[in-house]
Amino acid sequence: MEKIQSFKVDLIREKEGAYTAVVPLLPGCISYGRTVEEATKNAKEAIELHLENLEAHNQPVPEEETPLVFTTLIQVTHPRV
């Protein structure tokens, strides 16, 4: 039976404008993308591969100890003050 699990992914904006995706719960699980969408897609693939590797080596899959909090960035325009 398959299990659905959520992972926190930190997207770090780099100086050149691209994004590095880091999965804190899975040490060494890092990805990259030119946009948020690409970095997120690549992070999902990296997580899947990381989990396959853990399974292949009979290692446990870590679980988040606290509930996930989803954070997003919302940009708005406003009158200059």
pLDDT single digits (tens) 3-37? 788 898 999 999 999 999 999 999 999 999 999 99
Q: What percent of the chain has pLDDT over 90?
A: 65
Measured CA angle at 14 (ends 22, 41), to 5 deg: 45
Tokens coding 77 = 């325009």
Measured between alpha carbons, how far is 32 from 13 in angstroms, rounded to an integer?
10
Q: What is the pLDDT of residue 81?
A: 65
The mean pLDDT value of the chain amounts to 89
pTM value?
A: 0.78
Instruction: List C-alpha distances in Å: 22 to 4, 8, 12, 13, 30.
Output: 20, 9, 8, 11, 5
The answer to whether the beta carbons of residues 21 and 43 sit under 8 Å apart is yes
- Segment 44-56 shows an average pLDDT of 95
Structural domains in the chain plus CATH codes: 1-81 (3.30.160.250)
